[in-house]
């Protein structure tokens, strides 16, 4: 399955799978029902309020027309339907789209969904590599699932640690470990793997245990390896929280 990679400021790359046709159609149907409900409300106001209702209907119609644009701008790439199905709009590099990008997606809605009952959008999503409708192609965006498939802690473009989505950390203190300490762990483990040197690994283990008050019976190689994975886990949690704000 294709995915979009997001590299965070903590040197963590989160890989989000592209949203399939089903969730995207489902989200659009939910949003369409909301817009239709708003229109019915406007008609009710008009029929019951006479001229007063006419003045009330204008802002209602405008808001319903702007629904998709306003939601995606102010809900960080989501509408009510997208939020319900846990999908969101992102740039192809994983970053948050600009307001201009959201506008480009919005102005293409009549073509994507208005022609042949949405067949244009459906064909485009299926045919393009990154699952993009015409509005996405114009804006350089796509739609992803917020469920993270995997995480990689990166340093200078090189993968250092990889953990699965369901990884469970062992040491809660790993949340406070610095990136520099993670690099020292890598160097110590690399020295041991390269020539069997245990000194750096043993010394670093003692310093880390003393600093963070960690009690463990794990051997140094297992201890340091586990700490790196735990650190990556907590960085992922922080990064995901930031992305969803």
Q: 14-57 pLDDT, tens per residue? A: 667 889 899 999 999 999 999 988 888 777 777 776 655 566 67
Beta-sheet pairing, 87-91 with 3-7: unpaired
- Do residue 94 and residue 33 come from a single domain? yes
Residues 6+ apart with CB under 8 A from 134: 108, 111, 112, 120, 121, 124
Q: 93-143 pLDDT, tens per residue? A: 777 899 999 999 999 999 998 877 788 999 999 999 889 999 999 999 999
- Do residue 140 and residue 94 come from a single domain? yes
- CA 241 from chain center: how many Å? 9
Per the structure, how many domains does the chain have?
2
Residue 187 falls within a domain, yes or no? Answer: yes
Rounded to an integer, the average pLDDT of 154-164 is 52
Residue 162 falls within a domain, yes or no? Answer: no
- Do residue 124 and residue 57 come from a single domain? yes
pLDDT score of 193 more than 50: yes
- Do residue 20 and residue 113 come from a single domain? yes
CA pair distance 132, 111, nearest whole angstrom = 14
Q: 171-191 pLDDT, tens per residue? A: 999 989 888 888 889 888 888
Predicted confidence at residue 235, as pLDDT, reads 80
Q: What is the pTM of this model?
A: 0.61
- Do residue 130 and residue 17 come from a single domain? yes
CA pair distance 178, 181, nearest whole angstrom = 5
pLDDT score of 245 more than 60: no
- Do residue 95 and residue 8 come from a single domain? yes
- Do residue 112 and residue 186 come from a single domain? no
Predicted confidence at residue 48, as pLDDT, reads 74
- Do residue 126 and residue 211 come from a single domain? no
Tell me which residue range forms the domain holding 224: 167-244
Under the banding of pLDDT at 50, 70 and 90, the label for residue 156 is very low
Q: Percent of the chain beyond pLDDT 70?
A: 81
- Do residue 179 and residue 222 come from a single domain? yes
Rounded to an integer, the average pLDDT of 224-234 is 89
CA pair distance 210, 196, nearest whole angstrom = 24
- Do residue 132 and residue 217 come from a single domain? no
Q: Percent of the chain beyond pLDDT 90?
A: 42
């Amino acid at each position: 399955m294709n995915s979009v990679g997001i590299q965070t400021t903590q040197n963590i790359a989160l890989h989000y799978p592209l949203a399939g046709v089903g969730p995207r159609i489902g989200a659009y149907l939910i949003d369409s029902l909301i817009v239709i409900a708003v229109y019915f409300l406007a008609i009710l106001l008009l029929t019951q309020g006479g001229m007063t209702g006419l003045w009330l209907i204008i802002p209602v119609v405008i808001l319903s027309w702007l629904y998709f644009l306003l939601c995606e701008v102010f809900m960080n790439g989501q509408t009510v339907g997208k939020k319900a199905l846990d999908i969101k709009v992102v740039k192809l590099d994983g970053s948050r789209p600009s307001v201009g990008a959201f506008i480009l997606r919005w102005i293409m809605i009549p073509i994507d969904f208005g022609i042949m009952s949405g067949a244009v959008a459906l064909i485009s999503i299926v045919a393009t590599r990154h699952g993009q409708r015409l509005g996405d192609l114009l804006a350089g965006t796509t739609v992803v699932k917020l469920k993270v498939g995997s995480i990689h802690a990166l340093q200078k473009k090189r993968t250092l640690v990889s953990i699965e989505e369901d990884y469970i950390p062992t040491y809660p203190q790993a949340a406070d470990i610095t990136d520099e300490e993670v690099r020292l762990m890598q160097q110590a483990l690399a020295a041991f793997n390269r020539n069997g040197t245990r000194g750096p690994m043993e010394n670093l283990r003692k310093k880390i245990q003393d600093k963070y008050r960690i009690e463990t019976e794990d051997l140094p190689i297992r201890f340091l390896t586990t700490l790196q994975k735990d650190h990556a886990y907590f960085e992922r949690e922080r990064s995901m929280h930031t992305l969803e704000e």
